[in-house]
């Protein structure tokens, strides 16, 4: 019995030390005191002698660095180098790009929620608010998406001029160069308002302010390049594009065959040192109207004119459109959207070395430059585009579901329609929370490379799901294109955001966890860097420091996962309030994720990056933990409105369910079955299961969407909802309010019909009959008929003659080039 008590006491001490992530010194002192106390209390028994021997054999070598390095760390280092994944130059440069933000806390298994909630929320300056209320509103009022996408297949010359004259191409350019110098959050808000009205306009503005010459020049350009190009870009005198993708190199940009060779050549009548370029690019947004082209290519120096290296690597240069040899191809037509997009080619083009962005010193640094810019930009443009559609759709679908009637009741009150309505609301909340959190991180000075990949992937994927749900709710209204259709083009264009700036299938399978585990894990990067050191002593010392901490980290996560599973995370310190349980469960799953990540790396080693089904699911767990964190912070920053609770709870439950499902999928497909069984016991010791959000909460969410509630307004905040006659959103809102106000009158008419005091087939006939029998007043009759008229206007669809269906002639490309360069 005494032995059992001591075993329990030992396990208790072990568990407390591991749970609290105690240092090696604390472990050593604590177990020495434990053994001294046991010896003092019971005497030196045989079992205690064995315990003392085990203590001396284990802890003395661990605390003597020379012994530890020789007998433990050296062997681990040798093994580590054998299983360490081989990485290409582009992979190493991609991993080194950007900074680690909240996703790093999630990887550590013990997120600091106070730190999260104290992070400065996204906010607009007065100048940014004025721009949104002024030029952005004015631009939205000018946009007729049907005219843009069907008749012109482009923005009108007037819109192009307005964009240029009001500085929309210079949102990120500093004021000293004539730009707006807006924050990432303001940039996102501007794109949301415009993109909700016109994808073409949103894309046309996004590209010059995203991954393009302006951002590359800001961070890496020479002073001469900045002083020349940035003012011209800010004024719209130059229209930029950036050419990265080629027919043979899409997601695998490192395999591009576009190349330049350092050589002597003639330029402006002089023989100078420059680059002879050959390239073939496609899918380049704004290429047909661009006046300056940012180009990525591989640079070679076979004659060693710049130095000893022959293969210098990917390089970025700025090339004026009128450079001899540049060929702008015919336009692409991406899924019926009208933004300018097309191929660019060049054969034997000679350019000066000074045209390299940053000058000759930046030759071969292009991939690093691009990855650094993507680390921030990936979280802005495309997520904003998806959020724009989600906000408009949540606002419109809720109204339409209340206005549209079938079987004598609004379709939004059918449970089958409530399901997609609830998803639309919750997904919109998640998307908005994620992009807001990410842009706030960028504005605080971060370049969140992993977080931006998470946001880009999941926000655009949720946007695609919302588009499908919205189409299901609208039915025939959604599939008939025309000026009255406000969701059709968004539905068509959803895959565009999925495809660009790193295809989502690549982002999920290779970037989120593949890059995240190295950048965000507290010790992996240090171990990798140590293992690559040439100096054996320095490598062993650095590796020893990292691997000892890593082992303790793994033991701690093992204990924490088991303890938090057994206690269902009730012991976790978390912010008080209605969301406390979600914080606690997120901490539990964060610890389990850290444990499972380490186990997978130990089992698979360097082959883990090829186990894409496993690594992508690990990335999903990290992603949903990030999305859940963003939702909790968004709710906190918005003042924890009680009215929003159903939506927030739905969003949190959705994230927790998806996390659980990914754990299940990994463990079911884990090759080592006994280890999978052990992990399942540790992570889910009580067999606790999270379910999808219940129907009851989905019903509450749907009801918030089919009425003019404050929650619905907050979900759509930032979209173009201005009540002007040309805005279809204002027509929907007007019809929604009139429909709700007329519902009591409709009940009076139905009662009168049942009692025989009203007759007729149509609603108008029945209302007139009810008025004649004095079942309703003239005021009620007029109110009811106004609601009927508003409803008919909303549910109407367009029809055309054959001649009207033929789109207008696309204007010559050079005309738009002239417009934007004058």
pLDDT of residue 74: 86
Q: How far is Cα of residue 138 from the mean position of the Cα atoms in its chain? A: 29
Whether residue 631 is found in the same domain as residue 753: no
The answer to whether residues 609 and 750 belong to one domain is no
750 and 617 in one domain?
no
pLDDT given at position 813: 46
Beta strands per DSSP E along 448-600:
none
How many separate domains does the chain show? 5
The Cα–Cα gap between 194 and 153 comes to 17
Q: Is residue 399 assigned to a domain?
A: yes
Q: How far apart are the C-alpha atoms of 566 and 678, rounded to whole Å?
A: 14
Whether 488 and 445 share a structural domain: yes
Residues 521, 597 contacting (CB under 8 angstroms): yes
Q: Is 461 labeled as catalytic in the residue annotation?
A: no
Q: Which CATH number goes with the domain that contains 197?
A: 1.10.540.10
Work out the burial of residue 124: count CB atoms within 10 Å of its CB; fewer than 13 is exposed, 13-18 middle, 19 or more buried.
middle
Q: What is the pTM of this model?
A: 0.93
| pLDDT on residue 726 | 82
Question: Is-contact 504 619, C-beta < 8 A?
Answer: no
pLDDT value of position 539: 83
| Whole-angstrom distance, CA of residue 294 vs CA of residue 597 | 39
Is 233 part of a structural domain of the chain?
no
CA distance 353 to 360: 6
For the cut 50, the answer to whether the pLDDT of residue 47 exceeds it is yes
Judged by DSSP in three states, 259 sits in strand
Tokens describing residue 657: 């369910």
Most confidently modeled of 213-227, 421-435, 590-604, 735-749?
421-435
Instruction: List, for residues 765-799, the tens digit of each pLDDT value.
Output: 888 988 888 888 999 999 999 999 999 999 999 99
The verdict on 577 and 456 lying in the same domain is yes
pLDDT(27) > 70? no
Residue at a domain's end among 342, 359, 377: 377
What pLDDT is recorded for position 492? 93
Give me the catalytic one of 215, 418, 501, 731: 501
Whether 373 and 485 share a structural domain = no
Instruction: Give the residue from 499, 459, 404, 525 showing the smallest Cα distance to 795.
Output: 404
User: Cα–Cα distances in Å, from 467 out to 350, 396, 474, 491?
Assistant: 46, 12, 11, 5
Instruction: Decide which of 546 and 29 is more confident.
Output: 546
Tokens of 371: 């990855």
Cross-strand bridge partners of residue 285: 341
pLDDT level of residue 67 (50, 70, 90 thresholds): confident
pLDDT band at 815 (very low <50, low <70, confident <90, very high): very low
What pLDDT is attached to residue 113? 96
* Residue that is last in its domain, among 343, 362, 377: 377
Residues 72-76: what's their mean pLDDT?
82
Of 342 and 528, the structure prediction assigns the larger pLDDT to 342
> Cβ–Cβ contacts within 10 Å for residue 812, how many?
10
CATH number of the domain residue 107 falls in: 1.20.140.10
Structure tokens at 793: 């206007």
The H-assigned helical ranges of 643-727 are: 645-668, 673-683, 695-705, 710-716
Compute the CA torsion angle 55, 57, 59, 62 (nearest 10 deg). -170
Mean pLDDT confidence for 366-395: 90
**Residue 819 located in a structural domain:** no
Q: Are 784 and 802 in contact (CB under 8 A)?
A: no
Whether residue 473 contacts residue 487, with contact meaning beta carbons closer than 8 Å, is answered with no
Regarding whether 558 and 486 lie in a shared domain, the answer is yes
Q: Report how far residue 315's alpha carbon sits from residue 244's, in angstroms, rounded to the nearest whole number.
A: 11
446 domain residue, yes or no: yes
pLDDT in tens, 81-99: 777 766 666 666 666 677 8
Domain finish residue from 377, 402, 423: 377
Q: What percent of the residues of the chain are helix, what percent strand, and what percent coil, each to the nearest 5?
A: 65, 10, 25
Q: Is the pLDDT of residue 187 over 80?
A: yes
**Is the same domain home to 621 and 750?**
no
User: Which H or E element spans position 461?
Assistant: helix 449-474
Query: Which residue shows structure tokens 């990994």?
Result: 666
Residues making up the chain, counted from first to last:
822
> How would residue 212 be classed by pLDDT, with cut points 50, 70 and 90?
confident
Looking at the structure, tell me whether residues 113 and 134 fall in a common domain. no
Residue 422, domain extent: 95-119+383-711
What's phi and psi for 72, nearest 5 deg? -120, -60
The bridge status of strand 270-285 relative to strand 341-352 is antiparallel
SS (H, E, C) 213-257: HHHHHHHHCCHHHHHHHHHHHHHCCCCEEEECCECCECCCHHHCC
CA distance 132 to 531: 51
Residue 334 lies in a domain: yes
The b/e string for 29-57 (b: 16+ C-beta within 10 A; e otherwise) is eebeebbeebeeeeeeeeeeeebbeeeee
Establish if 318 belongs to a structural domain.
yes
- pLDDT value for 90: 67
The pLDDT value recorded for residue 812 is 45
Q: If you ran DSSP here, which 8-state letter would residue 366 be given?
A: H
Q: Where are the alpha helices (DSSP H) in 73-112?
A: 74-83, 89-96, 102-107
Residue 354 falls inside a structural domain: yes
266: domain CATH number?
Answer: 2.40.110.10
77 vs 81: CA distance, rounded Å: 6
- Among 468, 483, 462, 337, which Cα is nearest to 397's? 468
pLDDT digits (tens, 9 = 90+) for 265-308: 998 888 999 999 999 999 999 999 999 999 999 999 999 999 88
Is the same domain home to 526 and 608?
yes
Task: Give the lowest-confidence range in 9-18, 445-454, 558-567.
Answer: 9-18
What does DSSP assign to residue 756?
T
What does pLDDT average to over the chain?
Answer: 89
Rounded Cα distance, 240 and 223, in Å: 19
Return the sign of the alpha-carbon dihedral for residues 352, 356, 357, 358. Answer: negative
Cβ atoms of 328 and 344 closer than 8 Å: yes
Does residue 331 share a domain with residue 256?
yes
Choice between 500 and 51, residue whose per-residue pLDDT is larger:
500
Q: Distances in Å between the alpha carbon of 28 and those of 20, 31, 47, 130, 496?
A: 15, 6, 19, 62, 57
Residue 85 located in a structural domain: no
Joined tokens for residue 463: 């946007």
Shared-domain flag, residues 468 and 392: yes
Q: Looking at residues 511-534, what average pLDDT do you find?
A: 82
Tell me the pLDDT band of 185, cut-offs 50, 70 and 90.
very high
For 449-482, how does the pLDDT look when each residue is reduced to its tens digit (9 = 90+)? 889 999 999 999 999 999 999 999 999 999 999 9
> 111 phi and psi, to 5 degrees?
-65, 140
Which range among 211-215, 399-403, 443-447, 612-616 shows the weakest confidence by mean pLDDT?
Answer: 211-215
- Residue 80, Cα to own-chain centre: how many angstroms? 33
pLDDT at 536 over 80: yes
């Amino acid at each position: 019995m005494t032995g059992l008590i001591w075993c329990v006491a030992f396990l208790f001490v072990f568990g407390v030390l591991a749970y609290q992530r105690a240092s090696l010194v604390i472990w050593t002192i604590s177990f020495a005191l434990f053994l001294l106390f046991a010896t003092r209390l019971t005497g030196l028994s045989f079992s205690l002698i064995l315990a003392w021997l085990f203590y001396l054999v284990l802890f003395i070598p661990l605390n003597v660095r020379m012994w530890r390095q020789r007998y433990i760390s050296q062997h681990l280092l040798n093994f580590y180098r054998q299983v360490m994944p081989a990485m290409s130059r582009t992979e190493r440069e991609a991993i080194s790009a950007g900074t680690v933000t909240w996703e790093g806390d999630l990887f550590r298994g013990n997120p600091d929620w106070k730190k999260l909630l104290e992070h400065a929320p996204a906010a607009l300056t007065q100048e940014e608010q004025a721009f949104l209320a002024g030029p952005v509103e004015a631009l939205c009022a000018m946009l007729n998406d049907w005219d843009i996408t069907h008749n012109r297949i482009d923005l009108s010359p007037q819109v192009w001029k307005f964009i240029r004259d009001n500085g929309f191409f210079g949102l990120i350019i500093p004021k000293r160069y004539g730009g707006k110098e807006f924050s990432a959050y303001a940039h996102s808000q501007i794109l949301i308002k415009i993109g909700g009205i016109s994808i073409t306009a949103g894309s046309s503005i996004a590209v010059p302010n995203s991954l393009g010459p302006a951002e590359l020049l800001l961070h890496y350009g020479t002073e001469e390049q900045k002083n020349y190009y940035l003012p011209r870009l800010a004024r719209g005198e130059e229209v930029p594009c950036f050419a990265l993708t080629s027919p043979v190199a899409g997601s695998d940009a490192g395999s591009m065959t576009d190349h330049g060779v350092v050589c002597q050549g003639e330029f402006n009548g002089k023989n100078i040192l420059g680059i002879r370029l050959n390239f073939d690019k496609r899918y380049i947004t704004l290429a047909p109207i661009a006046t300056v082209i940012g180009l990525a290519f591989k640079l070679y120096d076979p004659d060693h004119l710049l130095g000893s290296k022959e293969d210098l690597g990917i390089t970025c240069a700025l090339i004026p459109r009128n450079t001899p040899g540049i060929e702008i191809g015919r336009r692409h037509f991406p899924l019926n959207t009208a933004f300018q997009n097309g191929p660019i080619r060049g054969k034997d083009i000679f350019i000066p070395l000074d045209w390299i962005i940053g000058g000759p010193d930046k030759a071969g640094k292009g991939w690093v430059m691009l990855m650094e810019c993507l680390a921030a930009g990936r979280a802005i443009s495309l997520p904003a585009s998806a959020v724009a559609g989600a906000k408009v759709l949540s606002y419109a679908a809720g109204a339409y579901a209340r206005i549209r009637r079938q079987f004598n009741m609004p379709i939004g009150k059918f449970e089958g329609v409530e399901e997609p309505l609830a998803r639309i609301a919750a997904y919109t909340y998640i998307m908005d929370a994620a992009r807001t959190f990410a842009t706030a991180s960028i504005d605080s000075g971060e370049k969140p490379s992993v977080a931006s990949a998470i946001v880009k992937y999941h926000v655009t994927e949720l946007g695609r799901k919302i588009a499908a749900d919205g189409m299901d709710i609208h039915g025939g209204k959604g599939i008939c294109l025309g000026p009255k259709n406000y969701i059709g083009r968004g539905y068509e264009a959803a895959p565009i955001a999925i495809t660009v700036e790193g295809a989502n299938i690549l982002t999920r399978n290779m970037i989120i966890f593949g890059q995240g585990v190295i950048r965000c894990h507290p010790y992996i990067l240090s171990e990798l860097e140590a293992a690559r050191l040439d100096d054996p002593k320095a490598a062993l010392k650095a590796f020893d420091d990292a691997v000892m901490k890593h082992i303790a980290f793994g033991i701690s996560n093992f204990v924490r996962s088991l303890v938090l599973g057994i206690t269902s995370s009730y012991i976790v310190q978390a912010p008080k309030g209605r969301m406390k349980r979600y914080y606690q469960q997120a901490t539990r799953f964060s610890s389990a994720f850290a444990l499972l990540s380490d186990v997978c790396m130990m089992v698979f080693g360097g082959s883990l990056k090829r186990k894409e089904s496993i690594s992508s699911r690990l990335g999903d767990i990290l992603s949903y933990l990030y999305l859940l964190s963003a939702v909790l912070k968004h709710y906190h920053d918005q003042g924890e409105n009680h009215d929003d609770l159903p939506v927030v709870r739905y969003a949190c439950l959705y994230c927790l369910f998806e996390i659980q499902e990914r754990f299940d999928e990994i463990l079911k497909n884990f090759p080592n079955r006994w280890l999978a069984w052990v992990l399942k016991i540790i992570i889910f010791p009580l067999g606790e299961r999270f379910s999808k959000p219940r129907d009851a909460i989905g019903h509450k969410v749907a009801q918030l969407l089919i009425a003019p509630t404050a929650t619905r307004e907050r979900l759509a905040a930032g979209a173009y909802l201005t009540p002007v006659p040309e805005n279809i959103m204002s027509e929907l809102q007007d019809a929604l309010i009139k429909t709700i106000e007329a519902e009591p009158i409709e009940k009076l008419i139905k009662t009168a019909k049942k009692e025989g005091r009203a007759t007729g087939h149509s609603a108008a006939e029945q209302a007139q009959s009810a008025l004649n029998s004095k079942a309703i007043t003239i005021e009620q009759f007029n109110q009811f008929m106004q609601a009927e008229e508003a409803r008919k206007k909303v549910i109407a669809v367009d029809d055309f003659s054959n001649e009207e269906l033929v789109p207008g002639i696309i204007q010559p490309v050079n005309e738009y080039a002239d417009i934007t360069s004058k």
